[in-house]
Amino acid sequence: MSLRVYNTLSGKKEEFQPLVPGKVGMYVCGVTVYDYCHIGHARANIVFDVIYRYFKFSGFETTYVRNFTDVDDKIINRANERGITSRELSEQFIDEFYTDMDALGIERPTHEPKATEYIDQIIAICQTLIDKGMAYAAGGDVYYSVEKFASYLKLSKRNMDEMQAGARIAPGEQKRNPMDFALWKAAKPGEPSWDSPWGAGRPGWHIECSAMSSSLLGDSFDIHGGGRDLIFPHHENEIAQSEGASGKPFAKYWLHNGFVNVNQEKMSKSLGNFFTIREILKTYDAEVVRFFILTAQYRSPIDFSDQNLMEAQSGLSRFYEALDAAQKAVADVPESDQNSGEGARLEEKFREAMDDDFNTAQAIAHLFEGVRTLNRLITTKKFAKKADLVAQVRDLHATILRLGNEVLGLFLSEPSTWLEKVRMAGLARLDITLEEIETQIEARIKARQDKDFAKSDEIRDALAARGIELLDSREGTSWKLK
């Protein structure tokens, strides 16, 4: 079974064949650091984190580059509003970015370049493009001449004539063609700037990604990723710049993640449904957010709502409950050298799903089947005395944990700890204290010992009415949120 990926460039799933056997180079557009990250950023970063992890898991030596855009109009404006430098602002939000990404369990990429560290390379590409006649300097700006790049719009599949009809040249721009875009912008007063052959200025947005990707991955590399909204103009322009300058093919496969909607509406500041990652994490566990995002195919739109998040929490709890129960069920049983093959079978199905364009939803469905098998095995009569079943449970438990940990970045907590954390978080939203629950449980245990079932049920129903469900087992009585 080989890995297949959906390539925006061809509009089809293609067999993944790296440029260099055994190695993968991937570049994903990162964030412009002028504000806190929202759940759309969470999705993009989680999706490409899993893609990165899966390449490594599949044995590829993977170089993952994710940049920071730390020079940009929005940064400059925001910094000016606050009376600090662009650098101070961007550094602050880089720290905030890491806070959020770490919470979501996102691995650090191999390289995390900042645009401002690549000014020399940016200037060099601009110069090459000017020398080749594909770009021109005008009034301290440098513009890319789109008509000089024959395959412009090949990624976004748009029509040049129609694009031109709607394009405008903004006041102050020196473009020859409205579709041309800025590679270099002349410095205005109060803006950060660098010296260049065209005078003091700063890079345009698109050029930085061309510079950073070629510097760290070479002119040609395997995977380029980002959100759907970057297809035009950002990625289209990157192709024009990079291929125009190098004369070589740029990224081989273009991967784009779908959007996050909120209650079925596009998330936007004007609609007031804009959620930052840290706001969401006040209500939902980070792993629940991660799990939720991975239960959909990465290219589909996903709807962020309380109901969907609650369901994700139930689903993830099912995993942790089963992992917890399995762990306990085999804890006191001596190890044996039996190999069940259950884990290998599950792993094969998991890989098959992931090989099909990183279908995490399908992969998770297979893991759920593993959970059911696990639960079925450990509730078998005299389970602990059946060495073959014990071996299956150990194998399956270890496999679910390993696939979850390494590829999906899930199930990383100690099950009982995680379940406890979620319970306590839920409790905080109810009008009841832990002490009250424990007191009631004690009272009910006593009533049951006295065979006073009427009272026992009364206590249970009263707690249930307040959102607390009791669970009796051999070990005693525990509780969970309804």
Partner RNA sequence: GGCCCCGUCGCCAAGUGGUAAGGCAGAGGUCUGCAACACCUUUAUCCCCAGUUCGAAUCUGGGCGGGGCCUCCA
Task: Please report, as residue ranges, which positions from 341 to 380 form the binding site for RNA (by CB under 7 A).
Answer: 353, 356-357, 359, 361-362, 364-365, 368-369, 371-372, 375-376, 379
Q: Near RNA by CB under 7 A, which window of 92-100, 129-137, 160-168, 243-251?
A: 160-168
Partners of 33 in the β-ladder: none
Q: Note whether 89 binds RNA by CB under 7 A.
A: no
Q: Note whether 231 binds RNA by CB under 7 A.
A: yes
Q: Note whether 257 binds RNA by CB under 7 A.
A: yes
Least spacing, CB of residue 157 vs RNA, in Å: 4
Q: In the window 127-146, what residues touch RNA (CB under 7 A)? A: none
275 burial via Cβ count (<10 Å: 0-12, 13-18, 19+): middle
Least spacing, CB of residue 83 vs RNA, in Å: 22
> Binding residue for RNA (CB under 7 A) from 115, 296, 346, 403?
296
Least spacing, CB of residue 128 vs RNA, in Å: 23
3-state secondary structure labels for all residues of 229-293: HHHHHHHHHHHHHHHHHHCCCCEEEEEEECCEEECCEECCCCCCCCCEHHHHHHHCCHHHHHHHH
Least spacing, CB of residue 61 vs RNA, in Å: 25
Question: Which residue type does 473 have?
Answer: S
Distance CA 357, CA 293 (A): 15
Least spacing, CB of residue 80 vs RNA, in Å: 16
> Binding residue for RNA (CB under 7 A) from 36, 57, 194, 259?
259
Contacts of 402 (CB under 8 A, 6+ apart): none
Q: Note whether 428 binds RNA by CB under 7 A.
A: no
> Binding residue for RNA (CB under 7 A) from 17, 20, 74, 462?
74
> Binding residue for RNA (CB under 7 A) from 107, 117, 191, 457?
457
Q: Note whether 383 binds RNA by CB under 7 A.
A: no
Distance CA 149, CA 239 (A): 10
Q: In the window 199-218, what residues touch RNA (CB under 7 A)? A: 205
In degrees to the nearest 10, what's the CA dihedral of 271, 277, 278, 282? 90
Q: Note whether 417 binds RNA by CB under 7 A.
A: no
Minimum CB distance to RNA smaller for 248 or for 328: 328
Q: Do residues 5 and 357 lie in contact, with contact meaning Cβ atoms separated by under 8 Å?
A: yes
> Binding residue for RNA (CB under 7 A) from 158, 386, 402, 421?
158
Strands in 260-262's sheet, in edge-to-edge order, are 265-266, 260-262, 302-304
Least spacing, CB of residue 195 vs RNA, in Å: 25
Site size for RNA (CB under 7 A): 77
Q: Note whether 303 binds RNA by CB under 7 A.
A: yes
Q: Note whether 263 binds RNA by CB under 7 A.
A: no
Minimum CB distance to RNA smaller for 108 or for 482: 482
The tokens describing 241, both together, are: 């710049």
Q: Do residues 199 and 186 lie in contact, with contact meaning Cβ atoms separated by under 8 Å?
A: yes
Minimum CB distance to RNA smaller for 348 or for 469: 469
HSE-up of 271 (CA within 13 Å, CB side)?
11
> Binding residue for RNA (CB under 7 A) from 87, 423, 448, 466?
448
Q: Note whether 232 binds RNA by CB under 7 A.
A: yes
Q: Note whether 41 binds RNA by CB under 7 A.
A: yes
Least spacing, CB of residue 205 vs RNA, in Å: 5
> Binding residue for RNA (CB under 7 A) from 189, 381, 473, 476?
473
Minimum CB distance to RNA smaller for 57 or for 232: 232
- Give me the residue label for tokens 């590679």: 183
The DSSP 8-state label assigned to residue 323 in this structure reads H
Q: In the window 320-339, what residues touch RNA (CB under 7 A)? A: 321-322
> Binding residue for RNA (CB under 7 A) from 102, 131, 229, 420?
229
Distance CA 123, CA 111 (A): 21
Distance CA 213, CA 67 (A): 9
Distance CA 191, CA 196 (A): 15
Partners of 31 in the β-ladder: 68
Distance CA 261, CA 249 (A): 34
Q: Near RNA by CB under 7 A, which window of 96-104, 293-301, 389-397, 429-437?
A: 293-301
Region for residue 409 given its phi and psi (left: phi exceeds 0; alpha: psi -120 to 50; beta: otherwise): left
